[in-house]
Amino acid sequence: MEKLIITAAICGAEVTKEHNPAVPYTVKEIGDEAQRAYNAGASIIHLHVREDNGKSTQSIERFRECIDEIKSRCPNVIIQPSTGGAVGMSNEERLQPIYLNPEMATLDCGTCNFGGDDIFVNSENTIKEFAIKMKQIDIKPEIEVFDKGMIDTAIRLFKKGYINDNMHFNFVMGVNGGINASCRDLLFLKESIPYNATFTVAGIGRYEFEMAALSTLLGGHVRVGFEDNVYISKGILAKSNGQLVEKAVEISKVLGREVASCDEARKILKLKG
């Protein structure tokens, strides 16, 4: 079995310091949390950025500042900007970080209810627009999957030439309005992707480490971090993203799977480097 890639989703767009005081907002805080995650074993930093007051932004300049800060501390880490942004942002806002030419960026492949009145909208034309622009710049998309139909959409767009082969998926499991976080449903998603695709699993909230263990056993990869979960165990807030990564590393050790370095992750994902 290939080595395990650990992604750290260090701040997200919605979680706040009210949820956990260690959630990073400022450029320095984002750099600190990325470094803690990297030192603990993460080879990919999944990146949203915030204004100093915590407001989510897709500003290219804010992304540039944060990426420069992370790279000054962790020169070899893979930085994966989000093009999801926050609910309600325009396509133009959401796409800004791809013009910094990252190795990877996220590509959401469907619309999802996020609870209450929040709807994360990704029309077919939006998905095509994002996929075309990433392909033009030679950015590998991480295909974000909240339900099985999003896999079908990605495969259909691959067949039409919008997405390159050797696709990489992120199964986000346990979101309101999305697929459940269960062994049955993870097996269903895994069996639905092409034979030469890779996948990561992000379990939301209390499902984070349960799904990390299942993905590790099934040959997938793992995402942890404050975007998805702010607790290290029931009722106990995590001190940092690094602590969450450390727990994922411990799970991998117990299950007998080595953790990938940044360069090993690039090879597994067939990144341009």
Reported as half-sphere exposure (CB side, CA atoms, 13 A), residue 212 has a value of 31
Confirm whether 140 is domain-assigned: yes
Q: Give pLDDT, residue 88.
A: 84
Q: Give pLDDT, residue 1.
A: 86
Contact present, 43 and 261 (Cβ < 8 Å): yes
* H/E stretch holding 69: helix 60-73
Confirm whether 232 is domain-assigned: yes
- Strand, helix or coil at 74? coil
Each residue's pLDDT tens digit, 170-220? 999 999 899 999 999 999 999 999 999 999 999 999 999 999 999 999 999
Per-residue pLDDT band at 272 (split at 50, 70, 90): confident
State the average pLDDT over residues 72-83. 98
Q: Give dist(CA 59, CA 97) in Å, integer.
A: 7
Q: Give dist(CA 153, CA 130) in Å, integer.
A: 14
Confirm whether 263 is domain-assigned: yes
Confirm whether 1 is domain-assigned: no
Check pLDDT > 70 for residue 273.
no
Residue reference for tokens 């320095």 = 28
Confirm whether 155 is domain-assigned: yes
- Please state the length of the chain: 273
* H/E stretch holding 226: none
Q: Give pLDDT, residue 186.
A: 98
Q: Give pLDDT, residue 151.
A: 98
Interhelix angle 27-40/60-73, rounded to 10 degrees, is 40
* H/E stretch holding 37: helix 27-40
CA trace torsion 67, 70, 71, 73 (10° rounding):
160
Contact present, 172 and 178 (Cβ < 8 Å): yes
Each residue's pLDDT tens digit, 84-135? 988 889 999 999 999 999 999 999 999 998 878 888 999 999 999 999 999 9
Each residue's pLDDT tens digit, 120-179? 999 999 999 999 999 999 999 999 999 999 999 999 999 999 999 999 999 999 998 999
Q: Give pLDDT, residue 198.
A: 98
Q: Give dist(CA 57, CA 89) in Å, integer.
A: 9
* H/E stretch holding 237: strand 236-237
Check pLDDT > 70 for residue 226.
yes
Q: Give pLDDT, residue 214.
A: 98
- Owning domain of residue 200: 6-269
Q: Give pLDDT, residue 149.
A: 97
| Angle at 40 (CA atoms; ends 37, 41), nearest 5 degrees | 90
User: How many domains, the chain?
Assistant: 1
* H/E stretch holding 41: none
Per-residue pLDDT band at 249 (split at 50, 70, 90): very high
CATH code (residue 13): 3.20.20.70
